[in-house]
Structure 1
Amino acid sequence: MFYTRLILGYFMQYLKTRLEYRGDFLVQLVTDLLFQGVNLVFILVVFSHTTDLQGWTREEVIFIYGYFLVPFAVFAAFFNLWDFNERYIIRGEMDRVLTRPAHSLLQVILETMAPESLIGAVTGLAVMGWAAMRMDVDWSWYDPLLFLVFVIGGAAVYGGIYITLTSISLFSDSKTDIQPIMYNVGNYGRYPINIYSKVIQFVLTWVLPFAFVGFYPASFLLDDDRWSILAMVTPLVGVVYMGIGITVWNWGIRNYRGAGN
């Protein structure tokens, strides 16, 4: 109950802050939609020069891209850790967080969350729906349930990786630029994995498993049996990487020296 009240309190405070500047809020929503539209245009441009991409049709690639937007939107809404180093380490706000009787990671997540990013999930669902209608996808009764499980698992994969990267700042007070690099690597997960080399396929599956965020679950929903087993372990991969992230975070907290040293 303590954490439930804490989460609701942070969320209500967030709404008060964001709605104080409604114009800025709306501009950010429109900007996010335009950014997603640019990526969709890129796919259309590619298919204007070819009929398929390593055996994948235009609609299938668009479906995979649309699916990817959903777990990515959940991640972006609740794991908005991009400026953690600057805000919490260099400016010393981590010391304030550690004086409060709640887990430090939860506090940071609640203070930096951006629920407006969930608009990306709406866009992703719309893109998926359009592509599915064009392909006449045959849905099973359990697909919506699997979809929710896959989305949570994919968001946990992303979240676990970025929590681990963020935790590096707890061991050093210097700026790190690894997160933008990892963001670019993560974008590979929004396309069919077999268009890449074997080395990249291995990395995206077993090292930085961004393929579990978009491709593997989406291919299962498309009734492609080649990757069905990998798709079904998406929740497990999410639990493992989230566990790694939390473990590294707790380790970093124990080694954190404070802003005064």
Structure 2
Amino acid sequence: MFHLHLFIEYFKQYIKTRMAYRWDFVTQFIMNFFYQGINLIFILVVFQHTSSLGGWNRYEVIFIYGYFLIPWAVFSAFFNLWDFNDRYVIKGELDRVLTRPVYSLVQVIMETMTPESLVGGLTGLVVMGYAAWKLDLSWDLIDILLLFLFTLGSVMIYGGIYIALTSISLYSDSKSDIQPIIYNIGNYGRYPVNIYHRVIQFALTWVLPFAFVGFYPASYLLDHDHWKWYAFLTPLVGILYLGFGLMCWNRGIRHYRGAGN
């Protein structure tokens, strides 16, 4: 309850800050929407030259992309760690965070959250709904509950991977960063995994499991039982990778010696 109350207060302050520049806030929403739209256009262009992609038709691939947008939007809203190295390590703001009686990672998340990124989740739901309508899919309450569970697992996978990567900054004040590379790899999860080479399929499943943030859960929701057990592993994989990320963060914090060193 303490952390929930603290989150609400941080959220209030964030909204006050953004409302000081209302048009900038609105523009951010619009830009997020158009960015997702451009990626969708790319998929449509691909299907102008082929009728299927690895055995998946146009609307199935669009459905997978729509699901991919939902966990990505939630992750982007509450795990905005892209400039952690520069802001918290090089500029020394982590020293301030560590003097407060709240878990350091929770503070960083609350200070860097960008709730406007959640518009991507709404876009994803619209895209999924459109594709489901074209595919004549019928859902029941269990499917909705599974969508929530899968999304939670996918967000935990994202969170665990990027928390672990961010923790590297606690050992060095170098500006070099591998997060952009991992971001590009993560985009592979928006397409059917069986279109890739077997080595890439293995890596996207068991090394950097981005197949669980898009393809596997979405394929089950599309009634493709071939990937059923992979889909149900999504929450477990999320717990494992989030636990790994938190372990890396805690070890990094113990190693961190302050901006002056």
* TM-score computed with the length of structure 2 as normaliser: 0.99
Deviations 1:76-97 (A, max 9, x none): 0000000000000000000000
**Structure-1 separation of matches of 2:72 and 2:2:** 28
Farther-moved stretch of structure 1 (136-145 vs 52-61): 136-145
**Structure 1 segment 157-172 matched on structure 2, within 5 A:** 157-172=157-172
* Deviations, residues 146-174 of structure 1 (Å, cap 9, x unaligned): 00000010011001100000000001111
For residue 18 of structure 2, what is the aligned residue in structure 1? 18
Note if contact 1:71-1:213 (Cα within 8 Å) is conserved in structure 2. yes
Cα drift, residue 19 of structure 1: 1.1
Whether 1:227 aligns to 2:227 is yes
**1: CA distance between counterparts of 2:178 and 2:156?**
19
Using the TM superposition, give the Cα deviation of residue 177 of structure 1 relative to its aligned residue in structure 2, in angstroms: 2.1
> 1:140: Cα distance to partner?
3.2
- Equivalent in the alignment of 1:104: 104
Deviations 1:124-153 (A, max 9, x none): 000000000000012233000000000010
Aligned to 2:250: 250
Letter in 2 for 1:256: Y
Q: Distance in 2 between matches of 1:190 and 1:53?
A: 13
Q: What's the Cα RMSD here?
A: 0.7
Contact (CA 8 Å) 1:216, 1:231: kept in 2 or not?
A: yes
- List aligned pairs for 1:112-261, cutoff 5 A: 112-261=112-261
Asked whether the equivalents of residues 157 and 241 of structure 1 are also in contact (C-alpha less than 8 Å), the reply is: yes
Aligned to 1:86: 86
Between the aligned residues of both structures, percent identity stands at: 66
The alpha carbon displacement at 1:205 in A equals: 0.2
Unpaired stretches in structure 1, ≥5 consecutive residues: none
* SS across alignment from 2:141: coil
Q: Distance in 1 between matches of 2:110 and 2:177?
A: 23
Q: Deviations over 1:89-112 (max 9, x none)?
A: 000000000000000000000000
Do the aligned partners of 1:169 and 1:176 also contact (CA within 8 Å) in 2?
Answer: no
In structure 2, what residue type is equivalent to 1:191?
A: Y
- The gaps in structure 2 that reach 5 residues or longer are none
AA matched with 1:140: D
Structure 2 Cα separation of the partners of residues 173 and 126 of structure 1: 42
| 1:46-65, Cα deviation, whole Å (9 max, x unpaired) | 00001101110000000000
Letter in 2 for 1:219: S
The answer to whether 1:3 aligns with 2:35 is no
Q: Provide the rounded CA distance (Å) in 2 between the counterparts of 1:194 and 1:75.
A: 25
4+ runs deviating over 3 angstroms: none
TM-score by length of 1: 0.99
